[in-house]
Amino acid sequence: MNPTKLIAVSVLLFFIYQGKAQQTFIPQGKIEFEKRVNLYKNLEAEEDESWRNMLKQTVPQYKVNYFDLYFTRDKAIYQPGREAVGTQKIPDWVEGPANDNIVFTDFSTGLFNSQKTVFESIFNIQDTLQKIDWKISTDSRTIAGFECRKATAIIMDSVFVVAFYTDQILTSAGPESFTGLPGMILGLALPRLNTTYFATKVELAEVKASVLLPPKKGKKTNIPALRSQLKESMKSWGKWGDRNIWLIMI
C-alpha cells in the first residue's frame, strides 16, 4: 500500500475509533429529568370518598417538574430545572414534601450532600452514599436515545424501586440520591409513591467545577438523625406520615 493510501486508511480508522468511543462512553454532560407524580393515586390515602372526589376537581391528575443533573466522572449535582408549562400550585399535603431537592454527590469521597425543603423547614443532609442492593435483569428499554438495562431494589424496607441505567454514561448517578448501578440511571419508578423520573434529553457538554458544588442552605443533619426526627414528628399521621417520610428520604 502506498503512503498516501496508508495515511488515508489510518485517518479513517482513527475517526471510526473515535465515533465508537463516543458511543460507548460519555464522560460529562447534562441530563434533563421529568418528574411525574400521579396526584389522584396519592389521594387514595384519603379515606373520605366524597372529600377525595371533591379534591380531584381542583387538582390535575399529574404534577410535572423538571430537574437537571450535571455530571463528570466523579461528581454530580441534581437540582430543579425549567418550570413546566401550565404549572399549578398544589397543596404540599397532596403532592408531598421535598419537591425542590438539590443533591450533590462526590463519588471520589463516597459522600453526598442534599438540601430538602420539608414544609416550613430546610434541611442540609450530609452523609455517606446509601447502599442499595440492586438486582439487575436482562430486560431493557430505550430512554432519551440510550439503551438501558433494568434493575430493581427495595429501599427503606418496603419501597420497591425500578431503575433503567445506561453503561454508555459511566457515572453511577441518577435522579435524587439514587446511585450504585454500573452506569447512569435515566429512568426511575417508585410505584408506592406514584412517582416516576425519566430523562428527556442528554447533552454532551463541559461541566465547570463551579457548577458542581454542594448546597449550603438548611439545618445540618444526617440520615439517621433526620429519619428519627421525622418518625417522631409524624407518628400520628398514619399513611400520610409514612409516605412523607419516604418522599423526604429518597
Question: Three-class SS of residue 139?
Answer: strand
Confidence label for 18 from pLDDT (cuts 50, 70 and 90): very low
Q: What number is the average pLDDT over the span 131-150?
A: 97
Instruction: Provide the whole-model pTM.
Output: 0.86
Percentage of residues of the chain with pLDDT beyond 90: 69
- Structural domain of 121: 26-130+194-249
Check residue 239 and give its pLDDT. 81
Instruction: Say if residue 214's pLDDT is above 50.
Output: yes
Alpha-carbon gap, residue 174 to 109, rounded angstroms: 17
Alpha-carbon gap, residue 148 to 88, rounded angstroms: 32
In a domain, 72, yes or no: yes
Q: What number is the average pLDDT over the span 34-44?
A: 89
Alpha-carbon gap, residue 176 to 188, rounded angstroms: 10
- The identity of residue 212, as a single letter, is L
**pLDDT tens figures, 50-80:** 777 787 788 889 999 999 999 999 999 999 9
Check residue 246 and give its pLDDT. 92
Check residue 90 and give its pLDDT. 79
Question: Three-class SS of residue 145?
Answer: coil
Which helix (H) or strand (E) covers residue 244, if one does?
helix 239-249
